[in-house]
């Protein structure tokens, strides 16, 4: 027997024979068909279902599978133990935490991208050209000039952090030191300061910490009655920091706050930043894409003057997670904040690495997947106009819900529905306007849980001006007006149940008459 005949067959994770390929092909087709059946039947399923304890234990306590059971058995486990128990964000009545709903085409695009499996640091390849084009389209959407730079990342937090990282680099250069080379640890240098409203998402604190500025360098600026950054307070904070010898670095505006959907006066912020020499960053995680709509574009006027913008495509682009973009108007400054030149990644005039690795020079990641494909395919198939119409539909439905709440004697709107977020609470007729907050808060916390646990809908909760709110953040392309009607009915029904139970237990507001709100 020859040495070749005696050697065991080479190992691979592909099917090896025509028969194995045929079996896997049949399984793969079943996976696609099952998935599409699941998506097509979402409306008939509960919005959320609790995972049984035995299923939870079977996943968490499973030992490392040293010997494989095969793709068929593994897929069966997924169907039985994983697919039935997500957090519900595919469902037409999911409006929690500004989580997108995904699309069938986006799911197929992820499959195509995974099968192609390109390395998106750059390289002279079609996938890199697709991402360059997607970045150009997104820059056009927010009104940035031709030639603006960008990179796709996992989510809004990373997109926003990258924008502030460029701001830090630029501010340090102006102050006469190289933050990339020397860091921020040498004494005698001014403290770089950031400015964001009290309604800015928590990523801003993470950015200050991660970038070495420290949470104390983040100035939290009060908001006005419409939950927008108070420009007078911002100006005062910048003046105070300059008098103290600090170096104001960046002001952050928000297009669509998480709590209430408010948008800062971006045009006024742009004017302020130009006058003060500050970098102007906009967190446009979902609100930036309102610029696609002629009707809603005035709400985000001024975003086109930002130095950098972070936005998510898995929110108001409805694409599968995770897909976000960091945009920077000045491509040279963007590259200067991140570019490195290790010899093993040197570009070449020809071959696979011709043109270098441009996306590696625009952020932290070297290895990235092909998330641009789902953006590219979706925009080509559906058109930006369809996104604009869906955004308008989401806003229209949110405003209709706000009107339903405002008209109902047992519900109270807690903030204006400025965009697509509605914050309200159950306020039973026996509860006075001056009732201690914890009493109504406790009722509404319980109402929210019952709405979720019943499978009726998935809103989330927040606090607005010290009062607990049931919060609907509508970035759902599957929702219909009747879904919001069902939510109102469920909140009132569960609210009455909880209030009745509380009254029986002796809650003081249950025996008092509430003054009219209007």
Helix (H) or strand (E) holding 197: strand 192-197
Q: Is the pTM of this model over 0.85?
A: yes
For the segment 484-507, what is each residue's pLDDT rounded down to a tens digit? 999 999 999 999 999 888 777 766
What are the two backbone dihedrals, phi and then psi, of residue 146, each rounded to the nearest 5 degrees? -55, 140
Q: Is the pLDDT of residue 199 over 90?
A: yes
Report residue 139's pLDDT band, with 50, 70 and 90 as the boundaries: very high
pLDDT > 70? residue 509: no
Confidence of residue 348 (pLDDT cuts 50, 70, 90): confident
- Pick from 200, 303, 510: nearest CA to 219: 200
Two tokens, residue 194: 């950031």
Q: Region 372-376: what's the mean pLDDT?
A: 98
**DSSP-derived pairing of the beta strands 279-283 and 247-254:** parallel
Taking residues 317-341, report their average pLDDT: 96
User: Which domains are delineated in the chain?
Assistant: 118-382 (3.40.640.10), 386-511 (3.90.1150.170)
d(Cα 479, Cα 476) in Å, to the nearest integer? 6
Q: How far is the C-alpha of 108 from the C-alpha of 113, rounded, in Å?
A: 9
6's tokens: 């005696």
Q: Spell out the residues 6+ positions from residue 480 whose beta carbon is closer than 8 angstroms to its own.
A: 92
Asked if residues 237 and 170 have their Cβ atoms less than 8 Å apart, the reply is no
- The DSSP code sequence of 131-172 is HHHHHHHHHHHHTPPTT-EEEEESSHHHHHHHHHHHHHHHHH
> What does the DSSP 8-state code read for residue 315?
S
Any idea what DSSP says for residue 515?
P
pLDDT at res. 196: 98
Cα–Cα distances (Å) from 382 to 106, 347, 375, 379, 479, in that order, read 11, 36, 10, 5, 18
According to DSSP, the β-strands at 192-197 and 247-254 are: parallel
For the chain, give the percent of residues with pLDDT over 90: 86
CA dihedral 449, 455, 459, 465 (to 10 degrees): -20
């Amino acid at each position: 027997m020859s040495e070749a005949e005696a050697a065991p067959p080479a190992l691979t994770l592909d099917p090896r024979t025509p028969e194995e390929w045929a079996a896997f092909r049949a399984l793969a087709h079943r996976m696609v068909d099952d998935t599409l059946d699941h998506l097509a039947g979402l409306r008939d399923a509960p919005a959320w279902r609790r995972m049984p304890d035995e299923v939870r234990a079977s996943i968490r306590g499973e030992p490392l599978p040293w010997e494989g059971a095969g793709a068929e058995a593994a897929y069966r486990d997924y169907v039985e133990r994983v697919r039935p128990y997500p957090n519900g964000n595919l469902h037409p009545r999911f409006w929690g935490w500004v989580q997108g709903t995904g699309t069938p085409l986006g799911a197929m695009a992820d499959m195509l991208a995974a099968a192609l499996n390109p390395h998106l640091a750059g390289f002279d390849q079609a996938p890199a050209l697709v991402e360059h084009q997607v970045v150009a389209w997104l820059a056009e959407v927010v009104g940035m000039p031709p030639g603006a730079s960008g990179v796709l990342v996992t989510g809004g937090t990373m997109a926003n952090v990258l924008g502030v990282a460029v701001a830090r680099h630029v501010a340090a250069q102006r102050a006469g030191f190289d933050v990339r080379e020397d860091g921020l640890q040498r004494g005698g240098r001014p403290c770089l300061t950031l400015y964001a409203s009290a309604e800015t998402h928590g990523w801003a604190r993470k950015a200050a910490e991660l970038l070495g500025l420290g949470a104390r360098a983040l100035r939290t600026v009060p908001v006005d009655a419409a939950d927008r950054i108070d420009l007078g307070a911002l100006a005062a904070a910048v003046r105070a920091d300059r008098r103290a010898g600090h170096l104001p670095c960046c002001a952050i505006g928000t297009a669509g706050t998480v709590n209430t959907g408010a948008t800062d006066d971006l045009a006024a912020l742009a004017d302020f930043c130009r006058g003060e020499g500050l970098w102007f960053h906009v967190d446009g995680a979902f609100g930036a894409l309102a610029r696609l709509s002629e009707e809603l574009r005035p709400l985000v006027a001024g975003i086109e003057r930002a130095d950098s913008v972070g936005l998510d495509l898995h929110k108001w682009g409805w694409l599968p997670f995770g897909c976000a973009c960091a945009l920077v108007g000045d491509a040279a400054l963007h590259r200067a904040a991140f570019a490195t030149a290790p010899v093993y990644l040197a570009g070449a005039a020809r071959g696979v690495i011709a043109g270098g690795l441009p996306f590696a020079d625009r952020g932290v990641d070297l290895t990235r997947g092909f998330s641009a494909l789902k953006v590219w395919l979706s925009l080509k198939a559906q058109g930006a106009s369809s996104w604009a119409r869906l955004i308008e539909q989401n806003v229209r439905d949110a405003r209709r819900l706000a009107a339903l709440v405002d008209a109902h004697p047992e519900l109270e709107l807690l903030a204006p529905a400025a965009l697509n977020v509605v914050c309200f609470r159950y306020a039973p007729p026996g509860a006075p306007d001056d009732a201690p907050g914890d009493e109504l808060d406790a009722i509404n916390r319980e109402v929210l849980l019952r709405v979720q646990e019943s499978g009726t809908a998935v809103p989330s909760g927040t606090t607005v001006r010290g009062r607990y709110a049931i919060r609907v953040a509508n970035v759902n392309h599957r929702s219909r007006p009747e879904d919001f009607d069902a939510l109102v009915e469920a909140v009132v029904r569960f609210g009455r149940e909880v209030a009745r139970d509380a009254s029986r237990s002796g809650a003081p507001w249950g025996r008092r008459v509430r003054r009219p709100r209007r």
